[in-house]
Amino acid sequence: MQQVTSETFDQNARAAMQDPVLHSALRHLAENFGERRKNAIESVDDWEGLRDRARATKDEVLLHLDTYLYQFAANAADAGAVVHWARDAPEACAIVLNLIKDRGATNVVKSKSMVTEEIHLNKALEAEGIEPVETDLGEWIIQLAGETPSHIVVPAIHKTKTQIAELFIEKVGIERTDDVDVLTGSARRILRERFARAQVGISGVNFGIAETGTILILENEGNVRLTTSLPKTHIAVMGIEKILPRIADLDVFLKLLPRSGTGQNLTAYQSLITGVKRDANDEGPDEVHIVLLDNGRSRMLAHPVTRQSLACIRCGACLNACPVYQQVGGHAYGSVYPGPIGAVIMPQLIGYSKARQLPFASSLCGACREVCPVKIDIPELLLHLRAEITDGSPTTEKRFRKLGESLAFRLYGFLWSDARKYRLGMKAGRLFQKLIIRNGKIKKQGNVISRLMPPLANWTARRDASPLAPKSFREHWHDELRTK
Amino acid sequence: MQEANARESILASIRQNLAAGRAFDDVHKEAKINDESTRSTSLSRDELINNFKRNLDSVGGHCHIVSEMSEAAEAVFKIIGSLSATNIAISDSSIVAAITNGLSINVVVNADPEYLFASDVGVTSAQYAIAETGTIVLESDTERHRLTSLVPPVHICILQAGNIRQTLGEILEIVQSDLSRTVTFITGASRTSDIELTLAIGVHGPRELHVVVIDDHRP
Amino acid sequence: MKVSLFITCLVDQLYPNIGTSMVEILRRTGCEIVFDERQTCCGQPAFNTGYRHEARKFAIRFIEIFEETDADAIVAPSGSCTAMVKHFHDLFHDDKRWRERADEIATKTNELSGFLVNVLKTVDVDASTSGRFSWHDACHGLRELNLRDEPRLLLKNVKGLEFVEMSNADVCCGFGGTFSVKFPEISAGILDNKIESIEKANIDTLVSSDASCLMQISGRLSRLGSKIKTMHLAEVLAMQN
């Protein structure tokens, strides 16, 4: 069972880095998906132009989100869908639960949806005796294992096929195998049975189109199509930021999302669902319900830097590009959304207190910004959140600072506020370092130093440190260089 | 009542937060929507067919190009024969009915889910296709093929070459006028990479997709 | 051309040879050099760790000092410090006048390789050496300042230098400022991947444009007892042997 939270990210990360199986899986992910994405982009004429257009569309929607959202809801309702509004996770879960109970349904199938993970929907349903079965292969694997997804697109990336085989043998009783096709075939066989009897299908939504009230869902496996076509009732849960203005806008986003996410030109299936069937005899559910979820998203609109968080189309490219994610994997973040996008939205969704380590767990390399199809400036967001957490802001009541670090930065600010104090401070440093230099280097530091100067201890655990040079540049300048 | 309150509350929260952000917006640059209309391509029919075939092949689909109905029927019979199929489900398309007429095995139109789950092949037509990706486009209001194209393990699709367009943009423009309640885009067979990023074909949707393209302009 | 040196605290105190080399190269290309000894730091550590209050004070001081230097350009041997100057703007949300002053200074500030290739239009600074060299793309220089070709062009024009493009040259070294000591294990894990790329390239010397990356990489190479040297771009370009 997953016990880890964002509050212990540093411990989670350390533990994760001890796991050689995970290490290998994450390396494979980074190389594989990096390669796939690069190849897929080559088939596009003007990739940068597409990104710009997508971001501009998102900016426009977010600046007028109330209007577009209202339009979407009205058009969806006109086409026969029932639109529900949920301010937070409990409200959303209650809506879904009531829809299921009111219809006396017990057999519920689910397709992959990060927003339903966010609201912990499965747990809420299970508490009331309803056991929804995940039908996406990766999600079904982690459901059997009692875990949470470790990646937005490939939720079971942290598991080897041997581990998955063991899981299937234990939980659903298959014959021993390590053939991926056989494993997949058994998942198909078992889940088909559930599809055949399903009364309610729950899905997410990739995009909601304001001008028509259409929802679009992308997939590769076919479980979304089954989930949204077979059962009598379809419930779609959607974050309010998923709106696009027009059907025509899908052109840009359908070019960006599959390529960024899985390196495909298009995923195997896209379903554009508008309202409910026109005739009772037509195929498809009798009812379509759309649950619109806020859960902290509207708050993110309050600043242009945080507003861009809502442009995210959940492609997962940032996870694949992130050197930190590659070291620790998704579970270490202890949050629904991991990786770079997780590090910026989790503090905004669950609060700075719980998620305050996440924005600091980045080297600010910017690889995420480079691959983001909608050009979210994640480093800018990380810096913004770091400032809010450390320095506070008009909207936050509390600052979170470590005393030692705060004093160190005060000292740095004071000493380096003029050249004379700076020079004196460095002279003192040169004296002090005589204690710890050996053979021109500063090696691993022992107990006393580690307690007095944890950063130096942390550095020297794996790296030598360079000492302050005997003569600084400014001394060289003063003595030799300036008069040439 | 609670839901009406929730709606008003969410919309109000959006407006308030946007208003709060306006003070910072001047300092940040905002982009305008670049309203580039879809450039429609003027490729020849042959180019469209070749592009479609090439792209369908690249995702593991099977493209059969014929010049008339009888050849289409031949192609379909051959595929069905090679699968040793015994139960076929077909959509309510008249072309599909004509093509599958004469099969000696079970052919059921508008089958119920029970039959669909037990069938070997589903045969439908497609309303449009996208050449640049090898995608077939199914409109639910035009033909009853939603489950027939999904549940059986093999999907055979009849496509008129004249309904192929080069780009997704063109198709989006076409389907949105008189928008069907469900429009489905299908590109190749069902697949997953969820286990160790190893590709497996045929998860929940069909594991095999055949598209029979009828090009009546062929000599 | 008159150049005002933005030496950076790291070079000033830990790697003065980088500064000396930079002066040598710029004088070789005919620049007149001035160095305002009042400078201390651009405040990047404070900015990156969320201490905006302190960062703003550093920015104000930097801007005031460099406004007074009558030079055509400000040049730094660091992509990250140059990028910091370009971010001063973010510290003055409430003050249009300071934003304008920050932007003026930012426009004049250049990283060394960008300055040589894009401003002085020089790719050859008459340098020479021998051996196999490879380049590590420091993240800020690469992604914030878009400097990818410039350092490579400069290195390839060093006579006798055998340039090798290593795998994953553009992947982070794991330094990230205070990240390197806040999350030392993650930083070291990322660094190990970089060391692997370096060792695979079979080179004598690894070159980069940021002393912070060099500190990170050389720190590990030294701990491993590796013979591979690390040098700053300025130090390579200053060589004439």
Q: H or E stretch including A442?
A: strand A441-442
pLDDT digits (tens, 9 = 90+) for A167-203: 999 999 999 998 999 999 999 999 999 999 999 999 9
* CATH number of B179's domain: 3.40.50.10420
Band the pLDDT of C224: cuts 50, 70, 90.
Answer: very high
A66 & A99 share domain: yes
B194 closest CB neighbour out of A154, A214, A255: A154
B184 closest CB neighbour out of A137, A192, A225: A225
- Looking at CA atoms only, how far is residue A307 from chain C in angstroms? 16
Q: Which domain holds residue B197?
A: 45-214
- Looking at CA atoms only, how far is residue B95 from chain C in angstroms? 55
Handedness of CA C72, C75, C79, C80 (dihedral sign): negative
Q: Please report the pLDDT score of residue A318 as a whole number.
A: 97
Handedness of CA A187, A192, A197, A198 (dihedral sign): positive
Q: Please report the pLDDT score of residue A393 as a whole number.
A: 76
Q: What is the mean pLDDT of residues C98-115?
A: 96
C37 closest CB neighbour out of A426, A454, A474: A474
Band the pLDDT of B4: cuts 50, 70, 90.
Answer: confident
Asked if A370 has any chain C CB less than 8 Å from its own CB, the reply is yes
Handedness of CA C162, C163, C166, C171 (dihedral sign): positive
Structure tokens of C158?
């060093």
Q: Please report the pLDDT score of residue A1 as a whole number.
A: 42
Q: Which domain holds residue A391?
A: 1-43+315-400
pLDDT digits (tens, 9 = 90+) for C58-68: 999 999 999 99
Q: Do C189 and A327 touch (CB under 8 A)?
A: yes
Q: Please report the pLDDT score of residue B24 as a whole number.
A: 82
A240 & A356 share domain: no
Q: For residue B183, is pLDDT > 70?
A: yes
Asked if C182 has any chain A CB less than 8 Å from its own CB, the reply is yes
Q: Please report the pLDDT score of residue A400 as a whole number.
A: 87
Q: Do C51 and A327 touch (CB under 8 A)?
A: no
Residue with tokens 């059997």: A144
User: Across-strand partners of A103?
Assistant: none
Handedness of CA A377, A379, A380, A385 (dihedral sign): positive
How many Cα atoms are found within 13 Å in the side-chain-facing hemisphere of A458?
A: 16
- Chains in contact with A, where contact requires at least 3 CB pairs less than 8 Å apart: B, C
Angstrom CA distances, B62 to B69, B74, B146, B211, stand at 18, 15, 20, 6
Give the integer Cα–Cα distance in Å for A329 and A334: 10
Q: Please report the pLDDT score of residue B82 as a whole number.
A: 96
Q: For residue B59, is pLDDT > 80?
A: yes
Q: For residue B3, is pLDDT > 90?
A: no
- Chains in contact with C, where contact requires at least 3 CB pairs less than 8 Å apart: A, B
Give the integer Cα–Cα distance in Å for A268 and A220: 5
C13 closest CB neighbour out of A328, A469, A477: A469
A384 & A249 share domain: no
Specify if B27 maps to a domain: no
pLDDT tens track of chain A, all 484 residues?
A: 456 899 999 999 999 999 999 999 999 999 999 999 999 999 898 999 999 999 999 999 999 999 999 999 999 999 999 999 999 999 999 999 999 999 999 999 999 999 999 999 999 999 999 999 999 999 999 999 999 999 999 999 999 999 999 999 999 999 999 899 999 999 999 999 999 999 999 999 999 999 999 999 999 999 999 999 999 999 999 999 999 999 999 999 999 999 999 999 999 999 999 999 999 999 999 999 999 999 999 999 999 999 999 999 999 999 999 999 999 999 999 999 999 999 999 999 999 999 999 999 999 999 999 999 999 999 999 999 999 999 887 776 688 888 889 999 999 999 999 999 999 999 999 998 888 888 888 888 777 777 778 888 899 999 999 999 999 999 999 999 887 6
Give the integer Cα–Cα distance in Å for A232 and A195: 11
Where among A295, A325, A343 does a domain terminate?
A295
Q: H or E stretch including C160?
A: strand C159-164
Q: For residue B31, is pLDDT > 90?
A: no
Give the integer Cα–Cα distance in Å for A30 and A263: 12
pLDDT digits (tens, 9 = 90+) for B81-134: 999 999 999 999 999 999 999 899 999 999 999 999 999 999 999 999 999 999
Q: Which of A282, A264, A281, A265 is nearest to A273 (CA)?
A: A282
Q: Please report the pLDDT score of residue A447 as a whole number.
A: 73
User: Across-strand partners of C75?
Assistant: C5, C110
Where among A400, A433, A449 does a domain terminate?
A400
Asked if C47 has any chain A CB less than 8 Å from its own CB, the reply is yes
pLDDT digits (tens, 9 = 90+) for C199-219: 999 999 999 999 999 999 999
Convert A36-79 into a string of H (helix), E (strand) and C (coil).
Answer: HHHHHHHCCCCHHHHHHHHHHHHHHHHHCHHHHHHHHHHHHHHC
Q: Do C172 and A365 touch (CB under 8 A)?
A: yes
Q: Do B24 and C99 touch (CB under 8 A)?
A: no
- Looking at CA atoms only, how far is residue A362 from chain B in angstroms? 24
Specify if A277 maps to a domain: yes
Going along C69-135, which residue ranges are E strands? 73-76, 109-111, 128-135
Give the integer Cα–Cα distance in Å for A47 and A54: 11
What is residue B63's three-state secondary structure? strand
Q: Which of B203, B207, B209 to substitute to test the interface with A, most A CBs within 10 Å?
A: B203
Domains in chain C: boundaries: 2-118, 123-238
* Angle value at C-alpha B56, between B53 and B58, nearest 5 degrees: 110
The DSSP bridge pattern shows strands B182-186 and C128-135 to be unpaired
Is residue C83 left, alpha or beta, with left meaning phi > 0 and alpha meaning psi from -120 to 50? alpha
Q: DSSP string of B15-51?
A: HHHHHHHHHHHTTS--PPP--PPP------HHHHHHH
Residue with tokens 């959940």: A314
Give the integer Cα–Cα distance in Å for B204 and A131: 20
Q: What is the mean pLDDT of residues B207-215?
A: 97
Residue with tokens 């928008």: B179
Contacts by A130-135, CB closer than 8 A, 24 or more apart = A130/A97, A130/A100, A130/A101, A130/A105, A130/A106, A132/A108, A132/A202, A133/A108, A133/A109, A133/A191, A133/A194, A134/A110, A135/A109, A135/A110, A135/A111, A135/A191, A135/A194, A135/A195, A135/A221, A135/A223, A135/A226, A135/A227, A135/B204
Angstrom CA distances, A180 to A25, A146, A155, A223, B196, stand at 16, 21, 16, 18, 9
What is C123-238's CATH number, 3.40.1350, 3.40.50, 3.40.1000, 1.10.150? 3.40.50
Q: For residue B33, is pLDDT > 60?
A: no
Q: Please report the pLDDT score of residue B35 as a whole number.
A: 55
Q: Do B24 and C93 touch (CB under 8 A)?
A: yes
pLDDT digits (tens, 9 = 90+) for C123-172: 999 999 999 999 999 999 999 999 999 999 999 999 999 999 999 999 99
Q: For residue C69, is pLDDT > 90?
A: no
Q: Please report the pLDDT score of residue B147 as a whole number.
A: 98
Say if CB C82 and CB C76 are below 8 A apart. yes
* CATH number of A223's domain: 3.40.50.10420
- Looking at CA atoms only, how far is residue C230 from chain B in angstroms? 37
Specify if B71 maps to a domain: yes
Q: Please report the pLDDT score of residue A58 as a whole number.
A: 97
Q: Please report the pLDDT score of residue B37 as a whole number.
A: 52
Residues 6+ apart with CB under 8 A from B26: none
Q: Which of B160, B161, B131 is nearest to B143 (CA)?
A: B160
pTM: 0.95
> How many domains is chain A partitioned into structurally?
3
> How many domains is chain B partitioned into structurally?
1
Where among A262, A295, A328 does a domain terminate?
A295
Give the integer Cα–Cα distance in Å for C169 and C167: 5
pLDDT digits (tens, 9 = 90+) for C33-42: 999 999 999 9
The DSSP bridge pattern shows strands A269-274 and A243-244 to be unpaired
Q: Please report the pLDDT score of residue A306 as a whole number.
A: 97
